[in-house]
Amino acid sequence: MRIFVAGASGVLGCAFLPLALAAGHEVVGMARSSQGAATIEALGGTPVVADAFDREAVTAAVVESRPDVVVNLLTDLGSGTSASNARIRVEAGATLVEAAQAAGSDRVIAESISWVHPPSPETADESTPLDVDSGEPRRTTILAVESLESATLAGPNGVVLRFGQLYGPGTWYARDGRFAELARAGGLPATETVTSFVHAEDAAAAVLLALDWPAGVYDVVDDEPAAGTEWGPVFARAVGAPDPAPSTSGDLGRPVSNAAARALGWAPARRSWREFLGA
């Protein structure tokens, strides 16, 4: 299979490319810079440089690649704001779907997030409504996810993968990541908010399997959702930070089920965040 991967030089892209190549697929990876292109080439992919917000450039790159499937792993986490990530989901997400259609491919797989439902102690699944009535800045994120997923699923073979919070090397939860630095500075509180995690390598394995999954939405999370009061101290110790101060966020968060993905053959090699969070 010939695969076009947007965001191929990011954490998830770098985990996915070796898996796809080892499985015998051809991979064309899109990056926004020559540095990203060099990363893709070093991993064995064929790089192409294009700005995700340049509709004509992205379309040309996809069409010239003649892919069987387009994989959207784009994120914009540099600024740490919900607005920047929302923009890339909405604008680039739609562009990639249109580009896939122009290239003659009706198969698009898009990275989404699993923390999108109204707070509740009840476990959410793919049928649980999105939290569209939330306040800002969360509302910006939810509406962008809704737009991304709608665009992806508009075609006959669109697949949306709602990942838990990614952890592992290169993520915000790595020992040298943003949250680790925050924790060491004493600025990461332990709250009641429940989070579902997934290791980046397990997420990449799901992308590979999803090449053959039926169209639809799938939650890709590990087996142990946990409140910040539970995972926070474990994370802090792993990154050499003081125990986080207990705090109330007013947000219960929500546990998420991975049953649908498991039914199609995916299972996290790291069933819990406990051993690897902060590594």
What's the half-sphere exposure (Cβ side, CA atoms, 13 Å) at 10?
A: 21
pLDDT computed for residue 61 by the predictor: 98
pLDDT computed for residue 82 by the predictor: 87
pLDDT computed for residue 78 by the predictor: 75
pLDDT computed for residue 54 by the predictor: 98
pLDDT computed for residue 279 by the predictor: 82
CA-CA distance, 105 to 92, in Å (whole number)? Answer: 17
Residue 173: phi and psi, rounded to 5, are -95, 5
Give the distance, in angstroms, between the CA of residue 215 and the centroid of all CA atoms in the same chain.
18
Domain spans, the chain: 2-168+197-221+256-263
pLDDT computed for residue 81 by the predictor: 77
CA-CA distance, 240 to 232, in Å (whole number)? Answer: 12
pLDDT computed for residue 80 by the predictor: 67
Q: For each of the chain's 279 residues, which pLDDT tens digit applies?
A: 999 999 999 999 999 999 999 999 999 999 999 999 999 999 999 999 999 999 999 999 999 999 999 999 999 987 667 899 999 999 999 999 999 999 999 999 999 999 999 999 999 999 999 999 999 999 999 999 999 999 999 989 999 999 999 999 999 999 999 999 999 999 999 999 999 999 999 999 999 999 999 999 999 999 999 999 999 999 999 999 999 999 999 899 999 999 999 999 999 999 999 989 998
What are the CA-CA distances from residue 34 to residues 5, 38, 53, 55, 96 (Å)? 16, 6, 17, 19, 21
Q: Give this prediction's pTM.
A: 0.97
Angle between helices 11-22 and 200-210 (to 10 degrees): 50
What are the CA-CA distances from residue 29 to residues 5, 6, 68 (Å)? 5, 6, 14
Q: Which fold has domain 2-168+197-221+256-263?
A: Rossmann fold (3.40.50)
Cβ-contact 3, 67 below 8 angstroms:
yes
pLDDT computed for residue 76 by the predictor: 93
